[in-house]
Amino acid sequence: PRRGRSAAREPALAGDDARGAARLGLHRRDAGRRLPALHARAERPEDTDWIAVVTLYGQLAEVAPSPIVELNRAVAVSMAFGPESGLELVDQLVASGALDGYHLLHSVRGDFLGKLGRYDEALAFFRHGFGLARTERERADFRVDLALVLKNGGRLAEAAHLAHVLEGGGPH
């Protein structure tokens, strides 16, 4: 998932959240600084210290719980421990309904399902996410995801057609 708003635009912690953050030595802006730094140290995504990223998202979830934090934590868990582990967390978010209208929930779940070889399920989530996407850029990302899952699922004719459309060849 894409990163959230900058720390400067994050609302201040209040009440119990602030006390919990003090006990952990973590504030929202701290995680907001540490997470990108962990990513920046790695030349490639697979070189990222994903265990540290999972830990930071876990701490952030304690001081500033939100479904977006949990979705990002699921991605980090998937990178650290595999897509099945991340899928368990995403399934909890799906069951909660907290992010039903959020296109990236469907993108992440589709990605995990595709990596697990569950192509038909992945397609369903990518198609649903495509319908929720608000910008052409977001829809283009879903088209690429759909084409890849179609190809990996052995649906080569559909993948080739979608690739033709992506290259500007039109729907025919």
pLDDT the model gives residue 5: 29
pLDDT the model gives residue 118: 96
For 128-164, the DSSP string reads HHHHH--SHHHHHHHHHHHHHHHHHTT-HHHHHHHHH
Nearest in space to 24 (alpha carbons), one of 61, 75, 50: 61
pLDDT in tens, 89-135: 999 999 999 999 999 999 999 999 999 999 999 999 999 999 999 99
Mean pLDDT of 13-38: 57
pLDDT the model gives residue 138: 94
